[in-house]
Every structure is written in structure tokens, then in C-alpha cells.
Amino acid sequence: MARLYVLLFLAQIVLAVCALISCLSAEEGQIRALPRIAWVLIILFFPLVGSIAWFVAGREPGTSARTAWPGPAGRQPRRPLAPDDDPEFLRSVQDRAKQQDQELFRRWEEDLRRREDDLRRRDGEPPREGDRPEV
């Protein structure tokens, strides 16, 4: 029997905490009948009755979490939750990486040509432009 009382006490505490969170996070226009401070005091001093009273009479009808967020049938288009789920973002990252790779390759080729020309000049040979493939 003691376990049942502990379980009911815990349920009452959870209900009171949920009511307090709901009361404190409600917009000013969503609170009915009493000011916010009065609702908080009622919930704190009479947890079971105050919590039930808050959910029944203290807030505007239709202000639950379900109406605050659009569901699957909501009017807002579904957006990816993370950047790595967004195909447009992934495409932009891939394009940027490709451009950076091409720029790096172009700089390496220029550096290689410059070094080859320096070696040819050092050996006394004129640089050969015709032997190089154009990229």
C-alpha cells in the first residue's frame, strides 16, 4: 500500500511541475481568470487541485503544444533538421570542395612549371614551352 502512495505522490509532483512550467512559459494573453503570480501560488500551495485548475481554467483553450508546432499535415514545408540532411547544403559543400581542389591543382602545376624552368635555366637549357601539355 505504501508503494501506491509513493506512486500517487510522484504523479502529483510531476503534474505540479508540468503545470508550473506551462504557467510560467505561457504568454500573457494566454492566461485566463487570474494573474500569473496567483496561478503559480495556487499550483505551489495546492499541487493537485491547483494543477488541474490551471489546465482546465487557467489557460486559453487550444494553447497546447500540439497547436504550437505544425504537424505533418501543417502548412509549413518540412525542412531538414540538420545541415547534413539538406541536399542543397551538401551540393554547395561539394561544389566548393571541387573549386578548391581545382585551384590547388592549378597552383601545383604553376609551381611545377616554375621549378622545371628554374632547373633548365640552371643547366643552361632554354625553357621548352612546346613540351608542356595545357590543362
Task: Name which residue leads in pLDDT, 6 or 132.
Answer: 6
The partner residues of 59 in beta bridges, in order of sequence, read 31
The partner residues of 31 in beta bridges, in order of sequence, read 59
What average pLDDT does this structure show over 54-63?
Answer: 79
Cell numbers 571541387 correspond to 98
22's grid cell: 506551462
Q: Could you report the per-residue pLDDT of 12-54, keeping only the tens digit for each?
A: 999 999 999 999 998 888 888 888 999 999 999 999 999 999 9
- Amino acid letter for position 121: R
36's grid cell: 500569473
pLDDT band of residue 103 (cuts 50, 70, 90) is very high
In contact, 85 and 95? CB cutoff 8 Å: no
Predicted confidence (pLDDT) at residue 111 exceeds the cutoff of 70: yes
The rounded distance, in Å, linking the Cα atoms of 135 and 103 is: 12
Q: Report CA 35 to chain centroid distance, whole Å.
A: 34
Mean pLDDT, the chain, integer: 82
pLDDT band of residue 66 (cuts 50, 70, 90) is very low
